[in-house]
Structure 1
């Protein structure tokens, strides 16, 4: 009979658990930047995301998407399956509820063995949580429980502001407190640059009264909110008609719906622009092709053709002679535009332009020395 671990064998490597108050508050961005900043202080830094909810298949393993991002971005020297031991698929919760006594020790053992492997010969390890402190409670492995299990101290990441983030940080801290996990501070992400000092002053005071140091404020940065064209294609359930290989990583900075005359549209065409138009608006397509044919002029992010209307054979031949990325979707133009505007843009492995921005944001705006001090790391 297999003997399951109930605590990690590694008790020496300093470990930091990074949680968030909500999904998409900037937890992965914070971890990416912290990893780079800590690497300037310590030679060997480890990473693990014990519980993953969004995953891809990688060499017969279900691997969390954020783990793939870390493995691609940094040379961590740890098997990727050890950095993402548990992936929550669509039937996982039901299977656990049917057999909690059988599954729980297996899950705990998987997390602990993966942690020991990920922390092996590391000077420090970052543990990325999955959402807020309570995520995973239904299978007795909430973020707070995992942090306790691994003997980690925690940082809470919240969205910038004064009242709401303090309330949310307080709520999350209460669950960490319940499991005996020390919260060493909070980081506010996506703070309005014009309100940085105001937020620092008042949110800092409110958190200080709760015994939570404010470790940093990360300003909202437009560059990190721009999706690439491949993300847009997924969001609008589109398919490529032209320029996929050269345009999939084009950054979409603005969108314009081609409901105007072609002559009016020409004034809107600029770098990073995505044009959304039905495929039968050949006047718009012809003018766009002409505008983009001038060397170095008006480089578009791309065109999304709507209502599943494909242009005439003649227009398609003209498009094929260009490098303009063109996608077709079954949605109406304004439906497609709404989907793009409401997208949650997560950093992906191919976002090479974003990674340096993230590293600099964390290095410039987070008190790394305070974090190292709280983890009893001397450098």
Structure 2
């Protein structure tokens, strides 16, 4: 199926960034590409056609990536144009049951026309893989077709998996008549495996797909900071500091005996556990004392809304251990933390 191209935006060039899955580095690539465009003095716009994770800014519901790009690059366009369609809880069910009468495709093309007006290039960022959004008849593949935007597919390190994922997504874009410019593979461990870029280049070429580049794996970029965790989760800081330079290396769920849980702690672990599991919290503090200069536990997220006792809270503060209290249960908290990973 080939969609009619949007012509409302005149001659503004456009590029659509799509990922092969979650946490592939699509937004990181968008930020880098947008920064490069700005350095060339080009007038640019940004569009997130469909947003799943949104914020409310001055009464406007907008995808968090659109909010980020507007703030970082001081973009002049209205947030409701940069993020024309957002999906609150229950939206997909309402759409399937016929309770959503809005023309979502028209909202996206109209918003693109306003964002692209007077611009040299518009960066369009998809949501997940090529098929995400099909449930509301606005998959990434269809959105790219509607906007007449060629696509760059972003995947992540390895060999077999990224090639498989890229080829699969390429097929859906091709079915919608969308040109795929090529692929970017993120988190490539070129230090340990310097041959990987050449292998990926050859492997993708066998399917007629150009490798546009590889982004080396960076531990700093891959590991979110405690500040980012605290910003993303709705909660209360009980002790420690949410600093941008204090990163986590691993995530552990405290749902077992304290002695067994300690065995799963690695350097700079973020421990997620109910706030009433004081045995686990005491074990984490003890593990840090024994670890020396590099703590095993960078911080703890206390789930379920359970506050630790005053005596343990005092111990946490004396140890300057990041402790953040949230109302959500451990499972939902772990899901929210996973969304922060790059």
Same fold (TM over 0.5): yes
The normalised TM-score by structure 1 is: 0.70
Cα deviation for residue 140 of structure 1 reads 2.1
1:1-379 paired onto structure 2 within 5 Å: 7-99=6-98, 102-103=101-102, 106-194=103-191, 197-229=194-226, 240=236, 242-243=238-239, 246-247=241-242, 249=244, 250-253=246-249, 259=258, 278-279=277-278, 301-303=298-300, 313-314=310-311, 316-317=313-314, 324-327=321-324, 339=334, 343-346=338-341
Tell me: CA distance 1:162–1:102, structure 2 relative to 1, closer, same or farther (3 Å).
same
Q: 1:42 to 1:212 in 2, by over 3 A?
A: farther
- Shift in alpha-carbon separation, 1:274–1:93, aligned structure 2, 3 A: closer
Distance 1:202 1:287 in 2: 46
- Structure with higher RCO (Cα < 8 A, 6+ apart): 1
Q: Which has more radius of gyration?
A: 1
Q: Give me the whole-angstrom Cα distance separating, in 2, the residues matched to 1:305 and 1:101.
A: 38
**Residue of structure 2 in register with 1:351 after alignment:** none
SS in 2 for 1:156: strand
Measure the CA separation in 1 of the matches of 2:91 and 2:63.
15
Shift of 1:239: 5.1
* d(CA) in 1 for partners of 2:52, 2:151: 20
What is the number of residues matched between the two proteins? 328
Rounded to whole Å, the distance in 1 between the matches of 2:303 and 2:93 is 39
CA offset digits 1:207-242 (Å, max 9, x no partner): 22322211001112111222333665699x895463
Query: Paired residue for 1:355?
Result: none
Aligned-pair distance for 1:11? 3.0
Deviates more, 1:45-54 or 1:138-147: 138-147
Q: Give 1:96 deviation, angstroms.
A: 2.4
Deviation at 1:204, TM superposition (A): 1.0
Indicate the SS of the match to 1:131: coil
Deviations 1:38-81 (A, max 9, x none): 22223322111011111122222221111112122211121122
What is the deviation of 1:110?
Answer: 1.2
Q: Secondary structure of 2:214's match?
A: strand
In the alignment, the residues of structure 2 paired with residue 308 and residue 15 of structure 1 have an alpha-carbon distance, to the nearest angstrom, of 46
Secondary structure at 2:127 match in 1? coil
Cα RMSD for the two superposed structures: 4.3
- C-alpha separation in 2, matches of 1:346 and 1:287: 27
- TM-score, with normalisation over the residues of structure 2? 0.77
Cα drift, residue 142 of structure 1: 1.3
5+ unaligned residues in a row in structure 2: which ranges? none
Instruction: Note if contact 1:269-1:298 (Cα within 8 Å) is conserved in structure 2.
Output: no
Secondary structure of the corresponding residue to residue 115 of structure 2: helix
SS of the aligned residue for 2:195 comes to helix
Query: 1:99 and 1:28, CA in 2 relative to 1: closer, same or farther beyond 3 A?
Result: same
Q: Deviations over 1:290-348 (max 9, x none)?
A: 99xxxxx879844556898766545545656785433357999xx89x949x834346x
